[in-house]
Each structure stands twice: as C-alpha cells, then as structure tokens.
Structure 1
C-alpha cells in the first residue's frame, strides 16, 4: 500500500477561503461587530464547503469563529449558509452547539459569527473513549431537542430528493456497481421507498453528523454546522453517522446500533442508496473530496445493510 493512502477514508476537507480573500465588505462587517480590526485570523481545516472558516482575534482581544461564503464557486453554498444562520439562531442553550453571536449579508456574501470554541475534532481513527463521549452526547442532544424547539422541515421533506438512490439507479448505468447491490437492486429500491414514513418523529435532528462536524473541548462535545436541521425520529442521526464512524476506524455500525427494528433497516437502505449513488457522480464545484468521502462511507453502509437484511 502506498504510504500516502489513508486507510481510514479520504479527508473531510474542501477548498477553504483564507481570510484575506473574504470580500472586504464582509470582513468590515465582522470587525465592526467585534469593535476592532482583526489582528489574527487562522483558517480551520475540515468540512467540505468552499468557504472561509476562520478563528479570529480582534485587536481589542475579542475572539470569534467566522464562517463566510460568497456566490462562487458554488452558488448553492449561499442558501446553505442562510439556512444555517436561521437554525443556529434558534437553537436553545441546552443544545450542544456553539452560540451564534450574529449573522449578516454583505456584497453577496453570507457571514456567520460564532463564539470561539477552543476545541478539536475527534481523533481518526476514532478512539473508543472519544467515541463513547460523542455517542452519549448525541443521545442527550436527541432527548434535549424533543420536541423540536424550532420550526424545521420534516426529515421526509428535507431528504425527499436525496434518499432516492436505489430507485434512481434502476434507470441509470450501473456499470461498476457492487455485485450484491446490483443483484438486489429491485429489492433495495422497494426497501428504500418506505423510509420517510418510518423516520417520522418530533426530534430536532442535525442530519449531518460526522467527526468533522464535532468539536471536543474540556470534556464537552459541541456539534457544529446545522444547515440541514430537520424533524424526525430520534435515532435518525445515529443511523446516518455510523457509516462515517466505521469508515474512519471506529467499530462496525452493528456493534454500536444492534437494534433489529425494521424501521432502522429501511432508513439505512435510504442512507446507503444515497451514499452509493452520489459517490458515483461528478464532484460538485468547489468540493473536490466530497465524492470519495461518500464512496468510502457507502462501502460501510452497504456492508451494514447486507448484514441487516441477510440477503445472500
């Protein structure tokens, strides 16, 4: 094996925009809010969005974490950041998330200013002590956010277009598709088709949990990046998260969620179909590592689904 191959999957990273390339009007807005010019700006790695993610220190000593995105190279990112601003502003203090201090738009850029958390992402390969800490926090978060404290789409509406992977593959070129998946494509499409009904619930979900969306600081867990928040079954976040845990050196999903509930299997079918199909698509503008990351998760999700169904 080549020494530059990561055995725990491709990195969750995009093309970060350095602070000096953020539009001057957006930078000026941040400095006005902080009350002084930015004296130090340190770009943070992790995450896929083609945007700025910067820990800043103003000349007066105030610190903040700033996310900022413009209409290029991916115009969809602006709408995503608007959704995150809306969701983050409404999260209750009990949510394990950094506090949004302010948000604004300037010259076509969307800017979010959060409290600065001096944390780090969980280690990968996952350490079991950190994983246990995170899983406990995710379960507490689900309890704290039931019923959902803010308006948000249902999970069925939020993922209606995304969770159709197997059904779309029925009409697409399947060259190179996993042989087991190809053999059971009709059955997988049928299993996937009922996911939204069984995933319904009244819990506010993050809906995009991965190591790069989690910070650890002083024994606390912070969940960041909330643009996809929606309302559904409390266990949905865990089902979506576990393929990335397995891909990044953690225990197999079966060990962490042995629940035999058929509803879990149906949602897993939808998750696996999403990851497998999207991993076959061209990279979106400005997100060069997204498809390899999805493909690697898809391998884990598909293996988990195969074991849960028992189909030969």
Structure 2
C-alpha cells in the first residue's frame, strides 16, 4: 500500500498524550513570572492536546492581543522533564531560519521550574489516520529540514552519541531474563515471535546503528504526528529536546514507523520515495532501523514513567512497525 492509498484506519493506537497541568495548577510565583516574561497578563489558555511531556503546555492569550505558546515543567511532574526543557532551549538556539519551526521568544530557569515561550504554531496536528495530502506536506517540510545544518556555535550533540545508549536495546534484552521477551507473544502480525527467533541477528545489525547516523545535518530526533502542526499554508515541526547533528535521512527513518502505525502506508515504500533517502546504502538503513526497533521494544517492556502512562503502548505500536520494516530490509 502506498502513502496515497492509505485512507483506512489501522488497528494500532493512533494517538496518546501525557498528563498536562492547567494554568491554575501552576504555583502563583510561576504564573507571575510567565506574565513578566510575556509582557502582559494572561487572559485565556488553550492546552496542548498531544505530546507526551508532562507539565504545562498551552497557548496563552495575552491582554494586549498577542499569543504565546508556553511550556513550564519541574521535577515534580517527571524527573527528566526539566533537562529536556533545557535541551529544547539549546536546540532552539541552533535552528536556522529555513527550518519550519516556531522561534523561542524567551526562557527562564530557576533551578526548579523551567519556562519556555515560543511563537504560536498555527493550525492543528495532522488528522489521523494520515490523509495523503497532509502526509505529503509534512514529508516536504522534513525534506527542507534534511538540508539544514545547525547555526554556528550550537551546543547540540552528535546523533550517534545522543542515541548510543538507547540503541543498545537488543543487547540489553538479550542479556536480561527471557521472560521479558515472552511478553511480546501477542504483538501484531507475529512480530514478537519473529524478534525472539532473530534476536542474535537483531543484535548484530544494531551494532552499526549509531555509526550509520553520522552526518552534519540538523536532526529533530523525535518527529511524529503529535510533534507537527499544520494549517492551510504552513507546516511547523515542534518539540525539539532530542535535537542533534547527524544523517540527513535520520528523521525520516525515525518517523516512518509511527506513520505506518497511524495509517500512512508501509515504511519501506514511504522511505525510499523521499529525496533524503537517495544514495543511501540499504545496509546502513537496516542498522539504524534495527537500533530504533530495539529502542522501542526495550522501552515498551518497561514500567510506565511518572506522568506518562500511555507511552509504553505507543512504543509497542512503533516497535511492531519497525520490526515489520526490518523483515523487508532483511
């Protein structure tokens, strides 16, 4: 099935989100500081409805008629959230103008609460299951991103270094108790059975995963439908805490399992139809996808992290699609 033919729903889960705070849930001092940074009183809020990060994420309407998209997180919601917010500040300072991403207007960090204020990305997340026209527009925006390099003086990690630990999922599972992998028995289309039968091969393929990702392009690192906003004229790529510098095709490879999960078509057909895949050696792609599948599989088998109860089901659905893709690549 091609991307243009993908109009029927997939049985996989289509979208999840984390647990959000409302404006009234924020401490008074945090609300006051946001209004100081924004330069006006807040008169209304519209909470974000997608994404996994816990904490506060909303478009705030200001008394002077402006709007600002604000994120506010502290360790109380999730211990990792403040560091991710700080990473997003570093990413925002590295994104060149041609990349379709909201600009960071201001930020603040008191050691507990991290606050970020962005331009408002107009529109909505893509409709799910994916509509072919919207998927084409998002892939076109990703093609623009694939040609971008970070601004001089950036502080982003290399993609291979950023994912080095994450992409050892198969080795971690192989070294652990077999009972963990037994929980994949009911995974879609026999993927659990296939991975257990090919665990040694998956470990071997994934050994080259991070080396395959080396490059000099700006990599978002976490693109999915819930990290995209779309309207009649624009596509915006949002939520950049995992940004790094690596291969031009990395974001496409990372995203297509979620596209397949959400009714957009088969990863193999989507990937090779895009300009950023031109000239890529299939073995290099296979290594990266093996690392990605190991990351999703290992993650899906862990307890849910604080404040993000739906994450593991979402990772399982992407793991299943990545494994199906590996069957084609193998």
TM range (shorter): over 0.9
Deviation at 1:37, TM superposition (A): 1.4
Is contact 2:130-2:264 (8 Å) kept?
yes
Question: Which structure would you say has the larger RCO, counting Cα contacts within 8 Å and 6 or more residues apart?
Answer: 2
Is contact 1:152-1:230 (8 Å) kept?
yes
Q: 1:242 to 1:6 in 2, by over 3 A?
A: closer
Q: Deviations over 1:48-84 (max 9, x none)?
A: 0111111111112121111111111311101110110
Deviation at 1:146, TM superposition (A): 6.8
Query: Which residue number corresponds to residue 164 of structure 1?
Result: 168
Matched, 1:17 2:36: no
Q: Deviations over 1:20-56 (max 9, x none)?
A: 1122222112211232211111111100011111111
Deviation at 1:218, TM superposition (A): 3.2
Query: Which residue number corresponds to residue 77 of structure 1?
Result: 81
Is contact 2:137-2:235 (8 Å) kept?
yes
Q: Distance in 2 between matches of 1:13 and 1:148?
A: 34
TM-score (norm: length of structure 1): 0.93
Deviation at 1:118, TM superposition (A): 2.1
Q: 1:107 to 1:190 in 2, by over 3 A?
A: closer
Q: Distance in 2 between matches of 1:302 and 1:34?
A: 45
Residue aligned with 1:90, SS: coil
Residue aligned with 1:144, SS: coil
TM-score (norm: length of structure 2): 0.88
Is contact 1:36-1:58 (8 Å) kept?
yes
RMSD (Å), alpha carbons? 1.8
Q: Distance in 2 between matches of 1:107 and 1:281?
A: 29
Query: Which residue number corresponds to residue 101 of structure 2?
Result: 97
Is contact 1:11-1:289 (8 Å) kept?
no
Matched, 1:185 2:199: yes
| Correspondence list, 1:1-312, <5 A | 7-106=11-110, 108-145=112-149, 150-172=154-176, 173=178, 174-177=181-184, 178-258=192-272, 261-309=282-330
Deviation at 1:270, TM superposition (A): 0.4
Q: Deviations over 1:74-99 (max 9, x none)?
A: 11101110110121133222221001
Deviation at 1:8, TM superposition (A): 4.1
Q: Distance in 1 between matches of 2:139 and 2:122?
A: 21
Is contact 1:147-1:202 (8 Å) kept?
no
Q: Which stretch has the larger CA shift, 283-292 or 33-42?
A: 33-42
Structure 1: runs of 5 or more not aligned: none
Is contact 2:15-2:226 (8 Å) kept?
no
Task: Name the count of aligned residue pairs.
Answer: 305
Residue aligned with 1:160, SS: coil
Deviation at 1:123, TM superposition (A): 0.7
Is contact 1:126-1:248 (8 Å) kept?
yes
